[in-house]
Structure 1
Amino acid sequence: MKQGSGVGGQGLGEGNRARVFGFCGSIKAFWLASILLAFGLQPWALGQPNLNELQQQAEQNRRLQQLQQQRIAQLNRDLANLDAATRQQLAELRRLEAEITRLERERAELTRQIDLLEGQKKQAEARIASLQKELEGLRERLSALLQSLHRERAGRYLPLLRAESFTDLSVRSKWVGVLGQHQTDLMDRIKNTVRQLDEERIRLGLLVDTLTERRAERQQRIAALAQNRQTVQLTVANLRQQQAGRQVILRETLQAQAQLRAELQVLQGRIAAELRRIAEERRRAEEERRRREAEERRQRELQAQRERELQARRQREEAARRERETVREVPSVPREVVGALQFPVRGGRVAEPYGFQGNDWQTLQGAEASSPIVAAADGVVIDSLFIANLGYTLTIRHSDQIATQYVNVLEPRVSVGQRVGQGQVIGFTGGGVLIPSDQMWFRVIVIDNNGNFRYVDPSRYY
């Protein structure tokens, strides 16, 4: 084999460059058509909403529902916290009101006691005034008596002249003394009573001052508690306002979630309708294909019947024409490449073999998401095609007879025209949404001398 033609060759000849890029264009067109047919889409239906778009919308709707559910759970937690805080503040408010009520009762009792003591104080003052008035009268009478005695002393002989006898004089002198002593004792008793009443008045005044101070202290505590009660009432009002706001947000969120559910149901209905439409189109296409095949078989049978009736010359010409129209046999697999390719996913395995469910690729499973993809052999990157649902598709030409193709590449590490070596990392799995991020589709392409190609089982080349 000439240099550059075998597996791991160092390059491509200048004469083969046009054939390479022509082959690349053919593969790209064939691959795009295969993708559209594999997912039930026709090439002319690309501009219409397809099943993938509807499924993406449904998935986005589900994510929004999850976010709304999380938001509802958070709002419920906030409402529970606000409700607990409100109950705590209401309990504090009831305690303050009970304390204020108790203090007001105490203040009313103190006021009643103060009023009672004030009344007693006024009674004592009135009695003191009455006794003082009586004392003044006694003083005046005592003064008059003293003046009388003084006059009698000054004219001590006049009573003797007026007395009828000595006994009468003695009785009158004694009686005057008794009256003076009685007046003196009465004044002393009144003074003692006044002194006691004055002391009682002072005691009542002190008691009234004490009760007044206690009432003022109760009033200050009531004012402080009333201020605290106002603060607690404002806090309760604020908490209730926050609860009302959260309830409004919760109600709106529940309405939005219900709307999302309704939209999801509509999307699911559209997806089901799209699936039914795709199934119907496939059924019709299958029926059309079978009808065409039956028609072709009927036409071939008629033609064969007519050809048998033709002359031998026409039969030879018809045979020659059929031979020209018969599909040429593809070349066998080059023996020199069997067992020469490296497994393209590091640490991977074969998840689905070649030909599974009619597939012309081999599904490889990586060790994890975004597993490294390596070149199966030395070669040149001849194509890099991006398809939104399948990621990047890289095609590497290894020789004139063989190429490899890598589907679901996340971000290529190589570019078209770049030479790569066997085992070189060319990208990572996970570029598309229809293929799991840890898988890759791998194809081995065999090319004949006329540029025709076919896919073969890659397991024959490891």
Structure 2
Amino acid sequence: MRRVVTLVLVVLLALAPPALGLAQVDRSEQLRLQGAIDDGQRLLLERQAEIESITRELGALDASLRDQIRERDRVADRIRDLRRQRDELTADVARLEQERDLAQERLAALEADLTLMEERVRGLLVNLHRNRSGQVAGVLARADSFHDLRVKQHYVGLLAQQDVAVVRDLDDLVQAVARERADLEASIASLNARRDELAATVGQLEGTQVQLATLIAELESTQAGRQAQQRALLQEQDALEAELRRLDQALLQEIARLEAEERRLRQQAQEFVSDRARSDDLTRQADEARARIDNLTAPTPSPAAGYVSPLDDAVVTSRFGEQNNSFVSLRAGSEGAAVRSVRGGVIISVASGGVNVGYMVAVRHDDVVTTVYTNLQPPVVAVGDAVSAGQVVGYLGGSTFVPPDVLRFYVRNTNAAGTAVFVDPASVLGL
């Protein structure tokens, strides 16, 4: 009888529905995230295996090919410096052209005033000729130029007060015109010098680009060279990802730096309390540091529905996992296109990744998702900035090797255990 009762209880327990708390547990998102992390870790292992395989195949050629790659990167770095110089010079030329145009406008206005003054002085001379006699009137009336009139200082002193004011105004105006002409000539000379410097820089840039193309062509001409370049690309990715995996530690260091900066600024503001303007400026800077700290340390908000594209009219040119890469490549409609944050978040890293990567910007969206944008020009955002979905975080074109219309876009996921790895962005962007 006891066996029958026990059997019935077992059957009833088996048929009974699970407890309410257990029924509500949904592990699908956890499993999806863990699966993505597993895929990312597998990709890293495959990449490392490919690097080792290439190194073995290159054998005796390895050392010379490494030298060629280093020379390629050195030339590429020189190109980046020349591009920066070119852009700075272009901005200088534009500024000097504007200054020249303003100087020309001021000079034209002064010359118009000088023309009016000429009429006034002519009236003065006519009046002297008609109404005055004697040596003074005769001398002044015979003045046939402004210069002739101005140098007759002895006689000018004998004029009526109103007439003296006219001549003094003329003298001031002539001197102002002379100064403005000198300033204009100096501005034009400076502009021409900067234009010459810009032309020389562009010439160096074009020559260096030819040198780089030659080096790359030499590498591409052999199987070993192509393998060496592929290895360099994979190693560059490893270095970038290693840097990004250190973001959490770098973030703590940046918060500590900002806190120290805030303390220093507030202490200085107290020291300059007698100088109200200086104290207010220091307090404003301290408040800005505190705002960045708050952005970096505040709990991340719940994500808004969906993501926006980082580029307008983006076209996928390579997918996650192709050639063991951990990003997707997206082509914009034009070179130097604006790159936008795919969702609201906080900037946690802005750094130069070298000639192969350009500048990099990382945005933390929540405790799980961080997005990374590379091949950017010098940054337009800073660590600690809060950004909204669709806000511009940079412009394409910072790498020497990646085309200036291509974005390399990464997504980094972190699980509950703190393990972070790059995952396929396709599911995030719906590619």
Q: TM-score range by the shorter chain?
A: 0.3 to 0.5
- Report the TM-score, using the length of structure 2 for normalisation: 0.33
Structure showing greater relative contact order (alpha-carbon pairs closer than 8 Å, 6 or more residues apart):
1
